[in-house]
């Protein structure tokens, strides 16, 4: 898959006071990609586009280089204690992506250049929780591997966490450009997770992400580089032939990987809110994503928000099948959660 390159770039003036901001500005100002200045990375008011859909598509190809001012990290349950903010936004076009709703009308890709300040804050969180281990999730609001060739931030975060006795980093990706991360001194403190799915789901609902065989190849390199490795299978979907497809996926993965010990799995079934459904239908009007409320059961989330999840029997069938097949193909692996 070709590495992502933006069609348009904005810089906050303050970002140029940081080495990474200056480096990106110097790199891009001669490339022919339009470079503009913006007073705030949170408020881009002059994005081109005739209508909302066009603006959305352009935003997904727009990079904004800024300074992260909020250095209070959000919680990131269940996979980590905190979300570490390296970037916000993603160039992928996964129909079901929760960023559709959480990023509202700001779907452009923001990278933050004040990395030393972000790492200093992470260090304080680690000290506050000592002697407990503190885990940081770097993929809560973006796919950091997808933009690593631009920012290099993940490499720095992995190096930083490698030196923290009580700090751990984790992130998940649907991209495969991992080569620059293979020789980093991770010290076993970073868990590299790949988001994988049945071929049907990837083909229909994950445009502009790496194809499965590239993700598997990247996972193999990461395992060989000694990183703790995991897979997130999300969203697990029920459709004609899902059992066979997920079995095939796990079989394929186990054959490609050099070992299965210590691998973790996180399993998340497909769910949607009514707000997400409306946004998805606007942005991907031809999507085949099944979102019929009457086929689902309701689940109340935080702030009384209703999510539509699969019916109880379907959830049980998914849980049973995935557990059996993971035990079959990955005897040394563990399932961290199923939801
Ligand atoms: Fe969202 Fe991940 Fe797809 Fe990017 S790759 S659009 S973050 S689901």
Chain position carrying tokens 């959480």: 102
Buried b (16+ CB within 10 A) or exposed e, 67-82: bbeeeebeebeebbbb
How many domains are there within the chain? 2
Mutate to test the pocket of ligand 1, among 4, 59, 88, 99 (most ligand atoms within 8 A of CB): 99
Whether 15 lines ligand 1, by a CB cut-off of 6 Å, is no
For residues 49 and 136, membership in a common domain is answered with no
For residues 41 and 86, membership in a common domain is answered with no
Residue nearest to atom 8 of ligand 1 (CA): 97
Residue of 92, 81, 329, 335 whose CA lies nearest to 233: 335
Residue 203 has a CB neighbour count (10 Å cut-off) of: 12
Q: Could you tell me the strand order of the sheet in which 8-11 lies?
A: 35-37, 8-11, 62-66, 109-112, 87-88
Cα-based angle 153, 156, 158 (whole degrees, multiple of 5): 110
> Considering 44, 67, 90, which residue would you say is the last residue of a domain?
67
Atom of ligand 1 nearest to the CA of 98: 1
Predicted model pTM = 0.95
Report the complex ipTM.
Answer: 0.99
For residues 80 and 22, membership in a common domain is answered with no
Mutate to test the pocket of ligand 1, among 88, 176, 209, 234 (most ligand atoms within 8 A of CB): 209
Q: Domain containing 158: what range?
A: 68-338
Atom of ligand 1 nearest to the CA of 206: 3
Instruction: Provide the CATH number for the domain around residue 289.
Output: 3.80.30.30
Whether 92 lines ligand 1, by a CB cut-off of 6 Å, is yes
Atom of ligand 1 nearest to the CA of 146: 5
What does each of the 339 residues of the chain score in pLDDT, given as a tens digit?
899 999 999 999 999 999 999 999 999 998 999 999 999 878 888 889 999 899 999 999 999 999 999 999 999 988 899 999 999 999 999 999 989 888 877 899 999 999 999 999 999 999 999 999 999 999 999 999 999 999 999 999 999 999 999 999 999 999 999 999 999 999 999 999 999 999 999 999 999 999 999 999 999 999 999 999 999 999 999 999 999 999 999 999 999 998 888 999 999 999 999 999 999 999 999 999 999 999 999 999 877 889 999 999 999 999 999 999 999 999 989 999 999
The reply to whether 302 falls in a domain is: yes
Atom of ligand 1 nearest to the CA of 209: 5
The Cα 66–Cα 38 span in angstroms is: 9
The reply to whether 1 falls in a domain is: no
């Amino acid at each position: 898959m070709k590495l992502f390159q933006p069609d348009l770039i904005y810089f906050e003036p303050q970002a140029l006071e940081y080495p990474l901001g200056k480096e990106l500005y110097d790199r891009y100002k001669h490339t022919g990609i339009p470079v503009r200045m913006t007073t705030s990375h949170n408020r881009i008011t002059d994005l081109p586009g005739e209508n909302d859909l066009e603006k959305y598509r352009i935003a997904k190809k727009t990079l904004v280089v800024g300074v992260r001012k909020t250095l209070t990290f959000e919680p990131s349950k269940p996979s980590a204690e905190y979300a570490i903010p390296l970037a916000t936004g993603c160039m992928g076009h996964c129909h079901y992506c929760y960023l559709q709703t959480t990023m509202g009308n700001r779907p452009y890709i923001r990278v933050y250049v004040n990395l030393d300040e972000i790492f200093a804050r992470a260090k304080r969180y680690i000290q506050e929780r000592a002697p407990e281990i503190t885990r940081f999730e770097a993929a809560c609001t973006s796919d950091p591997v997808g933009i690593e060739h631009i920012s290099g931030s993940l490499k720095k975060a992995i190096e930083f966490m490698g030196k923290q006795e009580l700090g751990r980093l984790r992130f998940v990706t649907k991209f495969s450009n991992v080569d620059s991360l293979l020789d980093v001194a991770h010290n076993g403190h970073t868990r590299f997770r790949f988001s994988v799915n049945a071929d049907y789901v990837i083909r229909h609902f994950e445009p502009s992400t790496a194809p499965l065989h590239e993700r598997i190849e990247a996972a193999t390199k990461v395992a060989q580089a000694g990183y703790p490795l995991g897979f997130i299978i999300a969203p697990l979907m029920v459709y004609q032939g899902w059992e066979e497809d997920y079995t095939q996926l796990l079989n394929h993965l186990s054959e490609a990987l050099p070992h299965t010990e210590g691998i973790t799995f996180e399993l998340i079934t497909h769910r949607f809110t009514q707000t997400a459904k409306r946004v998805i239908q606007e942005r991907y009007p031809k999507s085949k994503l099944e979102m019929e409320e009457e086929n689902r059961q309701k689940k109340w989330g935080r702030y009384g928000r209703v999510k539509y999840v699969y019916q109880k029997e379907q959830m049980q069938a998914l849980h049973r099948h995935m557990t059996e097949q993971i035990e079959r193909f990955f005897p040394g692996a563990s399932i961290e959660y199923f939801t």
